[in-house]
Structure 1
Amino acid sequence: MRPLSNSQIRFPGVSTRSLRSRWVAGAAVLAATALGAAACSGDSATIQPAPDAGAGVPTILATTGIWADVVANVACGGLAEVEPIIPVGGDPHGYEPSLQDRARMESAALVVANGLLLEEGLEDTLEAVEESGTPVLYFAETMDTIPFASADAHADDAHTEDDDHDEHEGHDHDDEAHEDDH
């Protein structure tokens, strides 16, 4: 019996894109877990709280609620307060930060972002915050990403004006015998 190649392995009801998305999400969670484990292995006395942190713990801001949740789950048992920048239900692709958002980011101990243009409206602010001295961690930079083909790759597959879907060989709509059926 010959071994199967990767192209022959199929999972019913699961697309290849879905598997890739799950793999990327799993890799991101592993990267976040590794980040958390590295943070937990250090001396907790070296963690500096943000200037306005109420309980004396550093504030970590994450661009999205999803990343805030991931970071909070690996934040070493409450050693940091984790908050999202983009409000729940906000669109990360089109969110424009306010001056208050920028001030929060500049006073945070760390800002966590996805990267890869997910938070496109935050790019300039994230860059400025990083230049002001606040560390910004882009998760996309911590892993190898899977390149996706551009939308133009299938441009030649589109139907042309010469495609005539009304012509069916052996099927004539003008046939008098079938007039009752129409």
Structure 2
Amino acid sequence: MTKPHFIALVGTNADFSYNRILLQFMSRTYTDQAEIEVREIADIPLFNENQMKNPPVSVTALSAAIDAADGVIIASPEYDHAIPAALKSVLEWLSSATHPFQNKPVMVVGTSYGVQGTVRAQTNLRQVLDAPGVQACVLPGNEFMLPTVKDKFDQQGQLVDDRSVSFLGQCLANFVQFAALNPVSVSA
């Protein structure tokens, strides 16, 4: 059986992000389960409704990559109890100019400096992914929220907490099964 190909979106435009490190860790560590392609959102401009009919190349390229993928993993930090404005803007592009998330399996993960992980951002992100125009198929449960992240990765970007590694691997295995049960047609 062929391994699924997932697009993993870094949910921030910041130069340094533990969420990027988390996705890079996943792409290196769980190669037996899936091919995970980490993608950035920093080059996508602020959503502009006036450009919906002619979106920037960065938007159409990301949309095409999501269309071709078996699923999407989104790693988001939490800013003021919500997802970052940069991620919200990307989702606005992808729900207005194009619609690659419709019926696409999505897994939500996140890391943060605080003790509550990304609980509010993940709730916010799940609401956005359920909105008309987005209509993603979000993996229920399996909420991976890595709190107090500063001491969770070593200098090589390896997640050093064995329980977190095990739980993340189980969440990904569940997502692989979920994506296989929710196949989407690839746009021509």
With normalisation by structure 1, the TM-score equals 0.32
The structure number with the bigger radius of gyration is 1
Flag the structure with higher helix content.
1
TM-score where L is the length of structure 2:
0.32
Larger RCO, structure (CA 8 Å, separation 6 or more): 2
Structure (1 or 2) with the greater strand fraction: 2
